[in-house]
Amino acid sequence: MIARLSLLMFLAFAIMGAWIPVLSPNLDRLGYQPKQTAWIFASNALAALIAPLFWSQVADRWIPAERCICFGASSCAVLLWIMASIEDVQFLFWMSFAFWFFLLPTLSLSSALAFRHLPHPEKQFGKVRVWGTIGWISAGLVLSAWLSQPTWMRLRMTGSDKPADLGDSMRLGAVFAAILALHALTLPSTPPSPSSASATSHWIRRFLDAPLRATTMFRRRSFAVYVACMFFLYVTWPFNLQLTSLLIQSLGVEKRNLSSVLAIAQTTEVLTLVLLPRILIRFGQKGTMTLGLLSWVSALVAFSIGKPLAFVAPSMVFHGLYISCFLVAGQVFVNRIAQHDFRASAQGMMLVVQGMGLFIGNIAVGFAREWAGENIAQAYLPPLGITILLTVLFVTGFRSAGD
């Protein structure tokens, strides 16, 4: 079971790891302006406002989760393959929106499915989730190897002497998505859980039964504080997604090596995900998540300084601590306090909150790039200030043991 769930995570994150790290340089290559690039990234956030609640309701009440994952991954494979050849900004935006509409629920349902089938999720989820990080790294390394191959090898493999380009990253992601769709057919059956809510005749309440029940978690102060911090942290995250590859490239890293260098961010993520159960026992829920916040502050400090490469690149190891100790530990926290019959919707609700933050953040990056001009490092100052304030809010407002 753990092996099957680990492969699920590997493939789900490899889809993104193949092309997201190099999307900004790819759009720059196509001549996109900063605000146009911001809107392409914002398609993720807009999809997150709609897709997770719909698909989580479907998985919690109507259709087995593994079938939803299979359908979503199949759709992603087709859409990514088409996106690789698109240059028109409006067409690419809507295709990207459609892609995220199917991928985001695939990710949340993968986590929900893993939580449901693991006997001890608080101890075992980190070891399963680490394979998502390995998948992200592996996809980046495969892309770097593909972009670095000589012309004669590409001619022999594909029959074309056309140079490899960053558009191939989307095709690589499509391959991983197709494999995920096939693997989903082998996953354990995860039928909808019977609702513990009282029957209701109103069609709106029936349609949104699970998501509405998930909102009851806001009665807990710790959950409300966590959600508020997560929202604003996702406002800061697009600065990393859009700017870090450009910052690293401006420091002299060639495009073909970008994925490999950016994979440094996942090195500590692998280690901390494996050790996450022990970290949670040693530091507790609050201490672990505070460590994640301090790691993100440290990374943003390094990015705002912006040079030299020997200083900036190693600082990306803080990403892994932030992702594992705050974001993944947060998933464990949400799963622990959510009732069994709406856990998929609870994870989906988190994606909606993330989507709202990502939308604001992605649009803000476009303005920040214009404000900072050639000095990319300066654009990291606003998210640095926000993260420092959030760390103070979390430390003062979150209670590990409940309210």
Give all domains of the chain, ordered by start, each with its CATH number: 2-187+206-397 (1.20.1250.20)
Is residue 348 within 8 A of residue 55, CB to CB? The reply is yes
Q: Indicate the pLDDT class of residue 393, thresholds 50, 70 and 90.
A: very high
* Interval 293-348: pLDDT, tens: 999 999 999 999 988 888 888 888 898 889 888 988 887 887 777 665 555 666 66
Kindly state the percentage of the chain with pLDDT values over 70: 80
Q: Indicate the pLDDT class of residue 235, thresholds 50, 70 and 90.
A: very high
pLDDT reading at 392 higher than 90: yes
pLDDT reading at 288 higher than 70: yes
- The backbone region for 374, taken as left when phi is positive above 0, alpha when psi lies in -120 to 50, beta otherwise, is alpha
Is the pLDDT higher at 94 or at 47? 94
Is residue 169 within 8 A of residue 18, CB to CB? The reply is yes
Q: Indicate the pLDDT class of residue 188, thresholds 50, 70 and 90.
A: confident
Predicted TM-score (pTM) of this structure: 0.67
Q: Which of 173-177, 266-270, 394-398 has the lowest mean pLDDT?
A: 266-270
pLDDT value at position 363? 85
Share the mean pLDDT of the chain.
79
Kindly state the percentage of the chain with pLDDT values over 90: 19
Residue 131 Cα to chain centre, angstroms? 14
pLDDT value at position 90? 87
Q: Which of 70-79, 112-121, 353-362 has the lowest mean pLDDT?
A: 112-121
Look at the chain and count its residues: 403
pLDDT value at position 306? 86
pLDDT reading at 78 higher than 90: yes
pLDDT reading at 100 higher than 80: yes
Q: Indicate the pLDDT class of residue 194, thresholds 50, 70 and 90.
A: low
pLDDT value at position 55? 59
Tokens of 395: 């430390």
Q: How many of the other CB atoms lie within 10 Å of CB of 374?
A: 7
pLDDT value at position 277? 83
* Rounded mean pLDDT, 159-187: 78
Is the pLDDT higher at 1 or at 395? 395
* Rounded mean pLDDT, 24-51: 81
* Interval 365-376: pLDDT, tens: 888 888 877 788
Kindly report whether the peptide bond that precedes residue 308 is cis, defined as omega within 30 degrees of 0. yes
Q: In degrees to the nearest 10, what's the CA dihedral of 5, 8, 9, 14?
A: 160
